[in-house]
Amino acid sequence: MLGLIGLGLTALLVRPDPLGAAENQPLILALGDSLTAGYGLPEGEGLVPQLEAALEAAGRPAQVENAGVSGDTTAGGRARLDWALGGLPRQPDLVIVALGANDALRGIAPDEAKANLDAILDTLGRKGLPVLLVGMLAPTNWGPDYRKAFDAIYPALARAHDVPLDPFILEGVALEPSLVQPDGLHPNAAGVKKMAARLAPVVIDALDARKVPNVRD
């Protein structure tokens, strides 16, 4: 389970750029869990570096900073949001919010997960930061009522805050044996490459749209 495997923290990496090339590129913060952190993968094969490579290949290079923490829930992401933003060299051009997998795996109440994500979007809205919300789907083991309530979180928040939504981060990868690690949950390098290739145009659209969340509190 994402919430039970690899609970170690992943430090937010701000990479030195002596030539200053990254200063002319968009800066993206990826706030997430082990799927963002690159759990179980060698350096350079996680989602952040592979997304950077996919954006480069698409002609839209960007600097993507990894704020993924393995095992993190929406509550954890909410608690460390200011810390993650404070570790950046400048204000990001886009924040990718990709949390909720561990909430679903642990059976955390959908209303609680939704409230945490809502607060994250409100905070980013008050700071004037554009957002791409990336969704998760609940597993079937908690029953149809739980799954229905959980899966509805992300479309509802995207509408309420008027931000772009990618409905399912593991689209095309989940449950594909050739694309996941032996635990059956975390993507392997090939799976992450597929995720990054699919996400790259979504990220580009979000960079172009620059939709700052509506603040609702």
Which residue among the candidates 70, 118, 166, 186 is catalytic per the annotation? 186
Instruction: Please return the burial class of 217, using the count of CB atoms within 10 Å of its CB with bins 0-12, 13-18 and 19+.
Output: exposed
Cα-flanking dihedrals φ and ψ of residue 53, to 5°?
A: -65, -40
Q: Are residues 146 and 110 in contact, defined by beta-carbon separation less than 8 angstroms?
A: yes
> Which one, of 211, 186, 201, lies nearest residue 95 by Cα?
211
Q: What's this model's pTM, rounded to 2 decimal places?
A: 0.90
162 is catalytic: no
Series of mean pLDDT values for 10-residue runs along the chain (217 residues): 39 43 86 97 96 98 98 98 97 98 97 98 98 97 97 98 98 95 95 98 98 89
DSSP code per residue over 129-155: --EEEE-----GGG-HHHHHHHHTHHH
Domains in the chain, please, with CATH?
Answer: 27-210 (3.40.50.1110)
150-202 confidence digits (pLDDT tens): 999 999 999 999 999 999 999 999 989 999 999 999 999 999 999 999 999 99
161 is catalytic: no
Instruction: Please return the burial class of 99, using the count of CB atoms within 10 Å of its CB with bins 0-12, 13-18 and 19+.
Output: buried
103 is catalytic: no
Which residue among the candidates 33, 34, 103, 118 is catalytic per the annotation? 34
Which residue among the candidates 111, 162, 183, 205 is catalytic per the annotation? 183
